[in-house]
Amino acid sequence: MRVVCDTNLLISGILFGGKPRDVLGFCSSGKLTNFTSPELLKEIEQVLLRPKFGLTDEQVYGIIRLFRETFSVVRPESRISVITADPDDNRILETASTAQAEAIISGDAHLLDLAEWNGIPVYNPDNFLKKFLSA
C-alpha cells in the first residue's frame, strides 16, 4: 500500500514510539511504501535539530539518511493550496498526489479535518492501523 506519513507522525514514531512507531515498523518491513519529498525531509531535519530534542547533528543526519534509504522520495512538480490555516501541510498533499498514495497518515488536525482529499483518505495512526490490520 502506498502511503504518505506526515512529518509529525515520523518524528513521533522515531522519538516517542506508540502507534506512530508501529506505522514506521510496517514501512520499514516493506508492508507499506511510504513516500516523502525533499521538502518534507528538510522539515523533519529542521525540527529534529531543535535543542529541545537533545539530538546530535550526527543522530539527526542518521535519521534522515535512514528515511532516504527506507522511503520512496518523489519530487512534486506543482504547488497545492488547499489548507490555508497551515500552508506547510499542503506539502503532504503534494507528495500524496505525486506518489498516487492510497492513504495519508497524520496526527495533524488540518489534514485530519479533510478526511479525504482527491480520493485519498486521511487517517490518524490508530485508525489507519485498525483498518490496515483488519484488511
Q: Does domain 2-134 have CATH number 3.20.20.80?
A: no
Q: What is the mean pLDDT of residues 33-51?
A: 97
Gap between the Cα atoms of 26 and 66, Å rounded: 15
Q: Is the pLDDT of residue 135 over 80?
A: no
pLDDT tens digit sequence for 77-124: 999 999 999 999 999 999 999 999 999 999 999 999 999 999 999 999
Residues 13 and 21 sit within 8 Å (Cβ to Cβ): yes
Which residues are 103's β-sheet partners?
3
DSSP type of residue 76 = -
Gap between the Cα atoms of 66 and 53, Å rounded: 18
Gap between the Cα atoms of 106 and 72, Å rounded: 18
The answer to whether the pTM exceeds 0.85 is: yes
Helix (H, G, I), strand (E, B) or coil at 1: coil
* Domain boundaries along the sequence of the chain: 2-134
Gap between the Cα atoms of 73 and 86, Å rounded: 23
**pLDDT value of position 39:** 96
